Amino acid sequence: MLPVYIVKGIYTNVYHELKRIIDFTWLGVACSNDGAEVTEDSNIVYGVLSPIDWLNRTPYPFDTTAQGIAVKTGMPVFVPDTIETTYLIDQELSKKGIRSYVCVPLKSKGITIGTITLGSRKKGAFTEIHLSLLHQITPQLAIAIENARLFIFIKESEKKYRDLVENAPEMIHEIGPEEKFINVNKTELNKLGYSLQEMMQMTLEDIVPNEQKEEIKRYMKRMVETGSGELETVFLTKMGKEINVEINGTGLYNNKTKEYICTRAFVRDITERKNMEEQVRRSEKLASMGELAAAIAHEIRNPLGAICNSVGILDAHLKVTGQDKDLLEMIVEQSERLDRIISDFLTFAHPREPSFSLQNIREVIKNTIFLLEQDSRYTDQVEIKEIYESVLPKVYLDTDLIHQVFWNLLINSLDAMLKGGQIRIMVRKATLFLRDAVEIIISDTGRGIPSHELDKIFEPFYTTKSEGTGLGLSVVQRIIDDHGGTIDVKSKEGKGTTFSIKLPVGPMGNGKEKIKNNLLMG
């Protein structure tokens, strides 16, 4: 059915124009669908559009009414007196005070699309003269109705298309010749945090980091010259958060002049995919480095054992004193330290298989915090703030290994806050590879990690500490991999560091293989 405001405009105008040349009370317009049923029924009485139920047609089959006959035969129908009840619906019209009426088919392009009916309170009010007048105006009325239908169809199609675009999972935007945004869908606005008005004052260069701006210029140039382009880049939200994206753009041109109109682009958030790629890269590097470490450790441990035994024999037989004894003790002490490092290497290279069970992640964290507070590095200058979502699912994990993860991260935070500070632990529900997960975010207010070191911190043997093997975060990475989870880090020098861990709620099987499979499918 056509919207009321369009019906009222068209039919009311028709009523008043006809009223100038014909005396009548009621104007009825019925539109049909292939002549089988009424799809739109409007009644103007005394110049006013009446309610839809003014004339109840429901009890009467369409093909038994004057309108149905006119549609079926394509011929006009006269009813000089409704009291005589030529058609069943005449009783309803008589009750409404309509004594006579004439019904004329409406034709568009040779097809009957409905009828127009004029009704009067007088008996035998209509003649062939009135019919002749109606034959003159019905073609124009039919065209007006068809145009109104087409207008509504286009509007509804536009609305459906707009709804589809606005609610699409991908970001969609259009950029005009001046390189400013001219249209941006809700998905992109929500992701970036800007309003449409703000975005329309911006260019694509305004939402990428400085180091990406030249690439954006080249991309926009390709769009104008070739009409297509793909690009992986980084978007910056209004709050400064980075989103890895993949842009697939198409140039739109004037069909006649071939003049460039705009670029329409579909933008996909690939942040999670990039994180998975990086995690797979790190995992594979850890595996290869681990095997190398094991081989080296075995080669070193044998001669180291001989050195330790020889020093012990020398100390027992020579009975050295003074500086000589100090030197022997230093050799023993450093040999033992080297043996501990070798043990760390071997543990890293051949970690034990996790023993999974359903655990309360909150309890694992609280137990780790309790032990941390007993450590000599923990002081009153350190504040630990815990935030837990009200309802958290239990997680399949190896308690000892996950405790080791939290311990390493929290100790690193303490080492980064020698003068004190705050450690913030937030735990909430999340998703990982389209599955339920728990996210643990551990942040501190320490000295932070320089940007040029961030990409290296998970690499084996990389450390900025004077003591240590540089295996702590590598081990953390491997444990999280074995749990089928992910770990990410963000840091600003002088501001602090944030580690974000996601662990799947349910059993994941082989964690590393699961990550690779999800990456291949994604």
Predicted confidence at residue 399, as pLDDT, reads: 93
- What are the two backbone dihedrals, phi and then psi, of residue 106, each rounded to the nearest 5 degrees? -100, 125
Q: Tokens in use for 410? A: 């929290």
Nearest to 279 by CA among 480, 499, 442, 469: 480
pLDDT surpassing 80 at residue 495: yes
Q: Which of 50-54, 241-245, 340-344, 462-466 has the highest mean pLDDT?
A: 241-245
User: DSSP string spanning 471-485?
Assistant: -HHHHHHHHHHHTT-
Nearest to 409 by CA among 459, 369, 464, 379: 369
3-state SS string over 401-437? HHHHHHHHHHHHHHHHCCCCEEEEEEEEEEEECCEEE
Confidence band, pLDDT 50/70/90 cuts, at residue 175: very high
> What does the alpha-carbon distance between residue 78 and residue 70 come to, in Å, rounded to a whole number?
10
User: DSSP string spanning 60-121?
Assistant: S-GGGSHHHHHHHHSS-EEES-GGG-SSTTHHHHHHTT--EEEEEEEEETTEEEEEEEEEES
Predicted confidence at residue 521, as pLDDT, reads: 44
pLDDT surpassing 70 at residue 3: no
Domains of the chain (ranges, CATH numbers): 4-164 (3.30.450.40), 171-267 (3.30.450.20), 274-349 (1.10.287.130), 357-521 (3.30.565.10)
CA 451 to the chain's CA centroid: 29
Query: What's the mean per-residue pLDDT of the chain?
Result: 84
pLDDT in tens, 275-323: 777 767 766 666 666 666 666 666 777 787 788 788 778 777 777 778 8
Predicted confidence at residue 126, as pLDDT, reads: 93
Q: Determine how β-strand 26-33 pairs with β-strand 37-45.
A: antiparallel
- What are the two backbone dihedrals, phi and then psi, of residue 114, each rounded to the nearest 5 degrees? 165, -160
Q: What is the mean pLDDT of residues 329-343?
A: 78
pLDDT in tens, 47-69: 888 887 787 766 778 778 888 88
Q: Tokens in use for 292? A: 């190398």
Q: What is the mean pLDDT of residues 476-485?
A: 89
Confidence band, pLDDT 50/70/90 cuts, at residue 515: very low
Predicted confidence at residue 331, as pLDDT, reads: 83
pLDDT surpassing 60 at residue 453: yes
Structure-model confidence comparison of residues 157 and 516, the more confident one: 157
pLDDT in tens, 84-123: 878 888 988 999 999 999 999 988 878 888 889 999 999 9
Structure-model confidence comparison of residues 84 and 154, the more confident one: 84
pLDDT in tens, 131-145: 888 888 888 888 877
Rg (CA), the chain: 40
